[in-house]
């Protein structure tokens, strides 16, 4: 994902931002750059508001690079921890195995046999060239433990479990999210 002057600051400066607004911000930032959203969730880490995000970006000549981050959000600043895992060697095996099983498990639409295979995880009306697909679901990580996405999730999970924030940072004015997420309280 390209880095630049665009940041969450514009989204985060309003005191009441919903998770849908945060997801929309990330979606707009990444989709034009050929990056697909896999997940964006709001959570608490060591008592601080945070955003966990995972994206994928095509590699050349094949495969994907998975980009994950944990962003600790405060009213006036943020901290970002970034993790990047690239597919190596023979790429596409996870997608191929899951696609084969997925196609065998359902009656396919002859006009669009891949309907339901890929899409935005939060907005079914949003279309882009690179999007999350069924194989990107965390339920497949155990079956493909060495896959780049599985490795990335394990690293993010370890960071979430072990991250400690200094008391001076915790004392900073918080950013206030509105709405809720499945990961609140973690």
Q: Comparing C-alpha atoms, which of 172, 155, 171 is closest to residue 163?
A: 155
Angle (CA) 176 177 183, round 5°: 125
The predicted-structure confidence for 165-186, as pLDDT tens digits, reads as follows 999 999 999 887 654 444 444 4
Task: Tell me, yes or no, whether 49 lies in a domain.
Answer: yes
137 assigned to some structural domain? yes
Q: What is the pLDDT of residue 17?
A: 72
Counting as low any pLDDT under 70, the low residues of the chain are: 1-16, 177-186
Q: Which DSSP symbol is given to 96?
A: H
Q: Which pLDDT score, from 0 to 100, does residue 174 have?
A: 85
Structure tokens at 50: 């945070």
Quick check: is 62 in a domain?
Answer: yes
pLDDT of residue 186: 41
Residue 82 forms part of a structural domain: yes
Q: What is the pLDDT of residue 108?
A: 83
Predicted TM-score (pTM) of this structure? 0.85
On whether residue 1 sits in a domain, the answer given is no
d(CA 64, CA 105): 26
Helix (H) or strand (E) holding 31: helix 19-31
Q: Which of 58, 59, 57 is nearest to 67 (CA)?
A: 57
The strand ranges marked E within the chain are 17-18, 36-45, 48-58, 64-73, 78-86, 177-178
What pLDDT, on the 0 to 100 scale, is given for residue 24?
92
Task: Residue 59: give the domain boundaries.
Answer: 9-113+123-178
Count of domains in the chain?
A: 1
Identify whether 174 is part of a domain.
yes
Does residue 185 lie within any of the structural domains? no
pLDDT of residue 56: 97
């Amino acid at each position: 994902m390209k880095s630049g002057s665009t940041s969450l600051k514009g989204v985060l400066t309003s005191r009441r931002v919903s998770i849908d607004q945060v997801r929309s911000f990330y979606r707009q930032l990444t989709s034009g750059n050929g990056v697909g959203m896999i997940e964006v969730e709001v959570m608490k880490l060591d008592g601080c508001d945070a955003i966990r995000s995972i994206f994928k970006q095509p590699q050349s000549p094949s495969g994907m690079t998975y980009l994950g981050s944990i962003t600790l959000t405060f009213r006036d600043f943020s901290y970002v921890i970034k993790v990047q895992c690239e597919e190596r060697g023979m790429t596409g095996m996870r997608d191929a195995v899951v696609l084969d099983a997925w196609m065998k498990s359902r009656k396919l639409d002859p006009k669009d046999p891949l309907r339901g295979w890929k899409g935005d995880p939060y907005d079914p009306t949003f279309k882009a060239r690179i999007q999350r697909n069924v194989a990107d679901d965390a339920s497949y990580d155990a079956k493909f433990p060495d896959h780049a996405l599985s490795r990335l999730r394990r690293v993010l999970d370890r960071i979430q479990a072990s991250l400690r924030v200094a008391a001076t940072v915790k004392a900073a004015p918080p950013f206030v999210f509105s709405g809720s997420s499945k990961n609140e309280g973690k």
